[in-house]
Structure 1
Amino acid sequence: MKLLTLNFLTCARKTCKTNPAAFPLHPREAELEQIEAEINPLLIQNLLPRINWEVLKTISQELGLPSLPESAPDSEDFMTEEGEPTQTLKDLHTLLMEMNVQNGKLVCGSCEHEYAIKEGIANFLLPSHMV
């Protein structure tokens, strides 16, 4: 599961729907894998306005990845005058598109329910008593 996905997931329990602590889900015991992909500056540029930067910073910090700047970079910071990708673009690409959680857990900050991640797939099925 790509780290980008964590920017959009929340707890599946009905009791957590209105609780702000249910977002984001926090990775625990995460095994990360980096799968290289070609840089697509336009994709990153179009994703950036849809990303909750504070959540991305929190997740990056919880996983022990390099810290992100206080605010999201401008798309003008993505390419050099020579048309080459900047380090900012490379770092964002690596974080959003190449880093995958292979195994571990996602934990709700509200109810502390743990969603297992196995082989890159999170299991969001709840037991019947939690639905």
Structure 2
Amino acid sequence: MKLLTLNFLTCAVKACKSSSASFPLHPKECELVSDTIAPNPKLIYNILPRVDWNALVVTASELGFPSLPPAAPTQEELEKDENMMSELHTLLLETSVSEGMLVCGNCGHEYRVKEGIANFLLPNHLV
């Protein structure tokens, strides 16, 4: 599961739907893998406006990535800063979670990730 995907996932437990603590899901004991993908600046420019930057900063810090700026960089800033562009490309497109868990900050439910696929099926008492 690409790290970018984590920016769009929230807890599936019904009681968490109204809580802001259920997003983002927090990685726990995750094994990361990296795939080499050709750089595509236009893709990064188009993805950034759709990304919840604060959630990305939290996820990146929990996984031990270099700290990101407090605000999302603009296209002009990325065009000037090749290092930032490279870091975002690596973080969003090349890094994947292959094994581990995603934990809800509200209810603490753990979603298992196995072979890069997160299991979001809930037990009956949580549906």
Check whether TM > 0.5. yes
- The correspondence of residues 113-124 of structure 1 with structure 2, limited to 5 A, is 113-124=109-120
Q: Give the counterpart of 1:106 among 102, 109, 120.
A: 102
The structure 1 segments of at least 4 consecutive aligned residues displaced by more than 6 Å after TM superposition are none
- The TM-score, its normalising length taken from structure 1, stands at 0.93
Counterpart residue number, 2:40: 40
Q: Distance in 2 between matches of 1:89 and 1:65?
A: 14
Contact 1:77 1:89 in 2 (8 A): no
DSSP-derived class of the 2:100 partner = strand
1:109 Cα shift? 0.6
DSSP-derived class of the 2:122 partner = coil
Contact 1:6 1:25 in 2 (8 A): yes
1:29 Cα shift? 0.2
1:79 Cα shift? 3.0
- Larger-gyration structure (1/2): 1
- The TM-score, its normalising length taken from structure 2, stands at 0.96
Unaligned runs of 5+ in 1: none
Identity of aligned residues (%): 57
* Residues paired across the two proteins, number: 127
